[in-house]
Each structure stands twice: as structure tokens, then as C-alpha cells.
Structure 1
Amino acid sequence: MTLVELAALPCNLCGTDTVTVLSTRSRSGQPLRSVACTGCGLVWSDPRPHEARKFYEHDYRLAYKGTYRPRARHVLRAGRVALDRLEKCARVLGPARRVLDVGSGGGEFAYLLKRLGHDVTGVEPNRGYAEHSREEYGLDVRVGFVGDVGLPAESFDVITIWHVLEHTEDPGAVLGQLRAALRPEGRLVVEVPNVEATCQSPRSSFHEAHLYTFCAATLARLGAKAGLEQVAFERSADGGNITMIFAPAAACTDGAPALRIPGNHAQVAAVVKAHTSWSHALSAHPWRRAADRLTRWMSETWALRRGTTGKALLDAMYPPQGDPATSPPAGTRQHTWGWLLAAYALAVAAEEVLLDNVVPAMQFGPSEGLAAYLGLQALVIGTLFLAFGRKMQSRRQLIAAGAWAMPLLAVPAIC
């Protein structure tokens, strides 16, 4: 039986003060009480693990990046993330827009939009990152929290807030402030981690930097409470993130009873409980993450080999400056799992035929079988590179393809 407890903080969505405890440890192994509201399923840290204003103004970047200003590798990584974000919000970026980027960080996404012809304003609480954005990219970045900078009413066509809402002490109030700053036909793009994600280790599901964790239902309902209407929604390919696009609603939903979400607490709690170390280890997620990290490290090391930093790094990877209406999205996301599974299945079949001698008509000694297997793999990989190499948009994609191809050569040792 699940034990229901009283929360130190009432639910930011429906006001309920009864919760169940989902976890008592952070990903760093420190005590962290993460609770789920019994009324709507919203998840938060109770009590607060830190004083948010001091933490995000001074400590956050040092704690998670080890620096007060972004290094070259951070810029490169954030630039690639910015291209992916451009693809996600391309539907709301037509002709030149007035854009607000909340939590603009090192300025990589804001600079991308500026290159495409948009009028961009950033808001960033960390002074070091804000100053870097101004000096390196010439951006208009306001230092502070979104409630401190005095946003003019109905002044932005598009507002983006990428992985920031979960860090705020009052996400409902933040959405209300952004709703007030949107023009009547404007759009708000919100991306947050998904509490129902299983792509990460269960020990990494909760940590001190995230004061709240949302699912699609609680994020949409919190938006409705702030006077916003959901118009589009997607989960990332691995299920780890939720991206939701809102428009100003004609009327604002209010009142705690209407904001409860029947059954959502049970749904969220069941997903978190079922996500165990064993279930995670037996899934494809840890192997895919390891391969993705290896690919990213290889491509970043290659891209940084010439010592390029800052603006020059971004200029080399971003689309040409021009009209945002004619600049195509980056197209960085590709779904290749079907092809990968087919390739590994064929590799195992080839190993059976050439090395295990399961076909009587094709008998090879160990040395000859191994040579034939490796030769066949080299032929297949080389053919694919010749066929598709010119269509790949960057060396990064070539390196990624090579990283995925290398384990094929290890099939004889595994099998």
C-alpha cells in the first residue's frame, strides 16, 4: 500500500498538499525527497534542496559545467542542440519574428535565430554566461530571472523556454508571465524533461537542479491554468523530453478542483516504480546512450582539432545568414534503428555461416572464416560510405556512421 504524506509545499498546479514519495535520493547520491501530488500527478522536490536564486545566479554553471563561462566544447555541443531546437519550433518561425529566449545560457540558440533574421532578446540569470552572449555574439541579453526583467505586455511573437521551467520555484507563475508577454497570435515553446522517461538510469531520474518534473498531462494543465492552450506536442525519440507549443487561450481555467487530473498520480507513480535498474539494463537505452556518447565525443574532438572557439564554431555549423522564411531547418534528427537492427542481424547470420560452419557446403577454417567475415563487413561498410557519403551533411554524420559500424566487426568475438 502506498503511504500518503503531507507535503511541506502545496502542489503548484492543483494546490493539493497530500503526496506520495517517489524517491529519497538524487542522482549524486545525496538525500533528495521527490514527491508526486495525489490530486494531479505533478512531481517536485519537497522540501527545496537549495535557495534557487543564489544557486542559479552563482552556483549552477559551476556545479554542472565546471566553469563560469562556456568552453569551446560546451559551445559546440550547445550549437548542435540549437539546430535541433530550430527544427522543433520551425512551424512557429515564419518571416522575421520578435523572439524571447528564456534561459538563453551561452546564447547559441539566440544567435542562430539572430543569424536567420529574427529580433531576439535573451533572459539569463547567470552573469558569466549572459556576458559571454553579449560579448561573443552581440546579443541583447537581460541578466536576471524572467520575473525580474520587466517584459512588456503582448510584445513577442514567439517565446522559447528550453529546459528552464523545471528549475523555477513557481512554474505556474512563470507561464503566466510569459502568457502576458505573448502577442495575441503568438506562440510559446516549452521543453522539459519527462518524468515518465525510462531512457536514463533510474538512479538519475531526480536531481537537485530540477525543482519540478512534468509529464505531458501536468504540463498541459499548468499551461491551461496560466491561460495557455496546447496546440502541438511531441516526445523526443528516446522519450526523455517533452516539447509543447502553446497559444494564448481565450479564457483562463482557474480553480483547484478543475485542475486535478484523475488517475494521473497512479500513472506517474506506476511508471517510476516499474523503472528499475534491471529493466533499464535489459533495455536498449544504456547501449544506445553509450554509443551516442562515443559518437558525440569523437565528432566533437574532430571538430575542435583546429582550436576554433566561440562564434567561429557556430558560424561554421549554422545555416547561412538570410531570410528566416527561406532558411531550411537543420534536419539533424534521423531515425535509423530499423536499419541498425537489420545490419546486426545480417552480421550475426554471416558469422554463423562463415565461422560456425552451419552450412555444410561452406566449410571454412577459423582463419579463413574470420578473414572472409571481416572482408565482407569491410565491403559492405565501404559500399555504404561510397553510396551515402556525399549525401551526409557533415563529417559528424560520417563519424557517427563509423561509430555505429565498428561493433559489427566485433560480432565474431561476441557470438
Structure 2
Amino acid sequence: MKCLICHSDKISIIGTVETSGHYEVARCKACHFVFTLPRPTPEELIAHYSADYFTNSSREAGYVDYYLVGEMNMKAMWSSFKDYAKLKDEDKKTILDVGCASGAFLAEAEHDGWKTKGIELSEDAVGRAKSAYRLDVMQGDIFDERLEAGAFDVVTMWHVLEHTIDPMEVLQRAHDLLTPTGLLFIELPNWNSLGRLIKGTKWKQLVPPAHLNFFVRESMRYALQHSGFEVIRCSTQHIVGFDVLKSRSPKPIVPLLSGFEAAVVTTGCGGYLRALARKKMEGSSLE
């Protein structure tokens, strides 16, 4: 058994988890990538994204009701993405959202003047994207031949890479789809998050076969750099659920909670891991 990211054979089993089956949790000692075993087949993975995936409240699904809850947050997500990528009005070009779900994020991008395209495994979600937002969204995955190489200025993956069978192949395909100066944006659960460190294998994000791959800052940088990218920034984001806690806390306590959260994020233990990268240009380095 070798690491899917760096191909090291220094792999250790660090735990087990029971969801729809019995899974082992493996960790690479070289690059710190974490993944679950056994790996699903492509057919098993597609079958997992049934019509109720985005509306099922089970632990395995990982969502309460994406259509009702997630879509309400998309305006904030679009704004957060633009801030993280430091995009300006003149940067409005073409964007591909991989695993676009119902397309709400792309709808915000289109409203902001971008030319958009989405691809999504779930037939139900694709139907909603077309009916609710009239978006150009296809059912399929990032390897779909209908996606043209070099056609996109930006590729986004919101909580997608953790679902994939071979994350390095996905990153390399994203590289192929981008223009020579294109940007890749990724957000996914952070293995070093405070929640995971506290809850261990009871962490709500550890739900194979939905979530198969887990990164920390070091393994994410390694994966991007070995897929033809330069890493512009890679950081962790807030403590999941902390906004609710702060909103319900007495005002004198809020600054203390905010300071604690800032310290957690700075040390790489925020709930989500984000990365922004661009195609590697000859003779350049951002490291």
C-alpha cells in the first residue's frame, strides 16, 4: 500500500470507522495525507450520490438539507471566494465549478458578470441547477470529455477533493482545464481541525464512502506542487459552528472567543482548509 499523494510506503493504520461499512483510516508518515480503505469503485461512488444525497440528514450523507440551508449561504461564499483569490472586476472571465451541486454558487458568479459552467455527479442536483437558475451544468465528473482543455480562467472545488478516488488525477485534470494563467481554488475539511483533534474517529467529516481523503496544509501544498501548480496561499478557516456560539454568548465574552478562534486558525487547526494555486510558470516560484 502506497500513499496516493507522494507514493511513500510509510503508511500506518491510525483507526477505524463504521458508516455504511467497515473502513480503516490510513495516514502517510511522509506527507501527512490521510485516506480511508477500502477505496470505492467509480460505480459505487456514482451510486452513492442518489437523489436524496443533498437532502438526507443521515451522518453518511453529511448534509442536513443543502437545498434549503446551503443555498442561503452562497452570496457570502462567492464574496469570500473573491476576497481569498483577490479578484477584481477586470478578472471576470470563465469559471468552472466542479461538483457544483444545485449551482447556487455559479448563479452568484453569473450574476456578478462571469461566464459560468458546472459539472456535478448528482442527476437530481443538475436538474435543480437547470430549473432554478437556468445554468450551463452537465452531469458527470471532471474527466468528462465535454470539458475542453485550457478553456477556464478559474476552476473551483468546494468540498469536492475529499470525495474523489484519486485526488492527484483530479488535480492534474484541473491543471489541464485551466488557461496558462488560470487559478485553482479548493476548500475541504481540515484533518488537523480542532473538531477532529477533539473527536477523533467520531468527527462528523469522517464519513466514508462520502469522504475518502483528508489533507493538512503540508499535504495540500505537496499535492498541488506535484500537479503542476504554484501555491499562492494555503490556510485554514474559522472553527465550524463558532459563529453560532459567538452570537449566543454575552457581549463581553465575544472578543475572547474571537481571539481564541484566531489563534486556532493561525496554528492550522481551523475547520476548513483552503488553497489557491495557479499554473506553474517556467522560472517562477511563489514559495
Q: TM-score, normalised by structure 1?
A: 0.54
State which of 232, 235, 249 in structure 1 corresponds to 2:280: 249
Q: One-letter code of the match for 1:241? A: Y
Q: Is contact 1:227-1:251 (8 Å) kept?
A: no
Partner of 2:87: 92
1:287-328 CA distances to partner (integer Å, 9 max, x unpaired)?
A: xxxxxxxxxxxxxxxxxxxxxxxxxxxxxxxxxxxxxxxxxx
Structure 1 counterpart SS, 2:147: coil
State which of 10, 17, 33 in structure 1 corresponds to 2:24: 33
CA, structure 1 residues 243+141, in 2 after alignment: closer, same or farther (shift >3 Å)? same
Partner of 1:24: 16
1:39 and 1:73 map into 2 onto residues whose CA distance is 38
State which of 166, 170, 173 in structure 2 corresponds to 1:174: 170
Partner of 1:376: none
2:79 and 2:189 map into 1 onto residues whose CA distance is 18
Partner of 2:98: 102
Q: One-letter code of the match for 1:215? A: V
2:105 and 2:150 map into 1 onto residues whose CA distance is 22
CA, structure 1 residues 170+32, in 2 after alignment: closer, same or farther (shift >3 Å)? same
Q: Is contact 1:195-1:214 (8 Å) kept?
A: yes
1:172 and 1:179 map into 2 onto residues whose CA distance is 11
1:146 and 1:63 map into 2 onto residues whose CA distance is 19
Structure 1 position 81, deviation (Å): 3.1
Structure 1 counterpart SS, 2:72: helix
Q: One-letter code of the match for 1:243? A: R
Q: One-letter code of the match for 1:77? A: V
Partner of 1:77: 69
1:58 and 1:37 map into 2 onto residues whose CA distance is 26
Structure 1 position 60, deviation (Å): 5.0
Q: Is contact 1:57-1:126 (8 Å) kept?
A: no
2:214 and 2:16 map into 1 onto residues whose CA distance is 15
Structure 1 position 244, deviation (Å): 0.6
Identity percentage of aligned residues: 24
Looking at CA atoms only, which structure, 1 or 2, has the larger radius of gyration? 1
Question: How many residues are treated as equivalent by the alignment?
Answer: 239
Query: Can you give the 5+ residue segments of structure 2 that lack an aligned partner in the other structure?
Result: 58-62, 240-269
Structure 1 position 64, deviation (Å): 5.8
Partner of 1:207: 207
1:175 and 1:110 map into 2 onto residues whose CA distance is 20
Counterparts in 2 of 1:10-409, with a 5 A limit? 10-26=2-18, 28=19, 30-48=21-39, 50-57=40-47, 59=49, 62-63=52-53, 65-66=55-56, 74-90=66-82, 91-92=86-87, 94-95=89-90, 96-199=92-195, 201-202=199-200, 203-204=202-203, 206-208=206-208, 209-238=210-239, 239-250=270-281
The structure richer in strand per residue is: 2
Q: One-letter code of the match for 2:7? A: G
Q: Is contact 1:19-1:36 (8 Å) kept?
A: yes
Structure 1 position 72, deviation (Å): 11
Q: Is contact 1:110-1:122 (8 Å) kept?
A: yes
Structure 1 position 29, deviation (Å): 8.3
The structure richer in helix per residue is: 1
Structure 2 counterpart SS, 1:134: helix
CA, structure 1 residues 72+211, in 2 after alignment: closer, same or farther (shift >3 Å)? closer
2:206 and 2:65 map into 1 onto residues whose CA distance is 26
Q: Is contact 2:31-2:222 (8 Å) kept?
A: no
2:49 and 2:43 map into 1 onto residues whose CA distance is 10
Q: Is contact 1:233-1:245 (8 Å) kept?
A: yes
Structure 2 counterpart SS, 1:166: helix
* RMSD between superposed Cα atoms in Å: 2.4
